[in-house]
Amino acid sequence: MENPILSANYLRQLPKAEVHCHLEGCVPPSTAVALAERNGVTLPAGARVGDGRYHFLNFDEGLAIYVAVSRSMQTPEDFEAVTYESLTVGARGGLRYREIAFNPQNHPELSYDQMIGGILAGARAAEAAAGVVSRVVVAINRELGGEAAVRLVQDVIAHPHDEVVAIGLDSNELAGRPSEFVEAYDLARSAGLRLTAHAGEHGDSTEMVECLDLLKVDRIDHGYAALLDPQLLARTVDSQIPYSACWFVDEPALEVEGRRRDLAAMAAAGLNLSVNSDDPALIGPELDECFVDAAAHLGWSVEDAEKYALSGLDACFADDATVARLRAEFIAELDRLRPVAYGTNDK
């Protein structure tokens, strides 16, 4: 017998934690246009349509918009405002913890210290206003190569903050193999930073193996290509390394149904999976709508919904005391919400 349909209202209210969300992908088009006009940046046409959505036909066009939006953020106050807005908007849909990834190398007008100062100011204000806790993952732009990555990690180490918990690797997977970044990752590890990397998003399982064996990552971002490599799949099922997968995209060119099938297969295989929004403003939607869509397509039970509500905490890089506090709060909220799981299913 199929599971009864969980209420969308229940799914939106669930306490949620996500560990794969890019700050620059949280900037709504209207905000991006305002920032670009103020800072003298030209946005691609797909960011200036005026209907509240970004428009692009493929990954490369989407990445070009992402880079242009990044360039529009040029002051510490820009970073503070975007951070605050992204976290408080997420909190309306049950977000209680988010690891914010951002690319300092995509913002050459500012120093790392200026950028992180703005981000942390916005994050602290959002926690005070909306109760959402956040930590920061500093992402290496793999297109800029290994030497630039080492300089970035050195900068992060020179300006320590308790909220900055990890180093990541993103941008175009075809532009830089993980093997180019071993020195940067070794340096980050020696400084006590946790490690993650985008890998396997576009079908290459060999780079996932490099991330595991050479970079020694603690988590894999995306990772869909594991489904193409039975040995890798078995290895990561056995190790239970977290996969921070991203559920929902609503641009047809990015193969919505393919992503849904991938996550369904990954869950069925027994991978340690969390559901994340990735770029909620650029690609869409916010995490609560990802939960609604995933629950419908995967036939979640209450137990499944609660598992995925907690999975982001299981995968996160926050300190043990913070995780323990949040877990206790999540469990109390899950207990409170359980009786209304199959209530009115308002859309």
Write out the catalytic residue numbers: 201
What does CATH list as the number for 13-339?
3.20.20.140
Q: Where are the domains of the chain?
A: 13-339
* 3-state SS, residue 122: helix
pLDDT digit of tens for each residue in the chain (347 aa)?
456 789 999 999 999 999 999 999 999 889 999 999 999 999 988 888 778 888 887 778 888 898 899 999 999 999 999 999 999 999 999 999 999 999 999 999 999 999 999 999 999 999 999 999 999 999 999 999 999 999 999 999 999 999 999 999 998 888 899 999 999 999 999 999 999 999 998 889 999 999 999 999 999 999 999 999 999 999 999 999 999 999 865 444 455 446 778 889 999 999 999 999 999 998 878 999 999 999 998 899 999 999 999 999 999 999 999 999 999 999 999 999 999 999 765 65
The letter for the amino acid at 315 is A
Q: What is d(CA 87, CA 83) in angstroms, rounded to the nearest whole number?
A: 6
Q: Are 168 and 196 in contact (CB under 8 A)?
A: yes
Cα–Cα distances in Å, from 239 out to 111, 270, 271?
Answer: 38, 11, 9
Element containing residue 166 per DSSP (H, E)? strand 164-170
pTM: 0.94
Q: What is d(CA 183, CA 206) in angstroms, rounded to the nearest whole number?
A: 19
Q: What is d(CA 214, CA 222) in angstroms, rounded to the nearest whole number?
A: 18
User: Among residues 208, 201, 211, 259, which one has the least CA distance to residue 229?
Assistant: 208
φ, ψ of residue 93 to 5 degrees: the values are: -110, 30
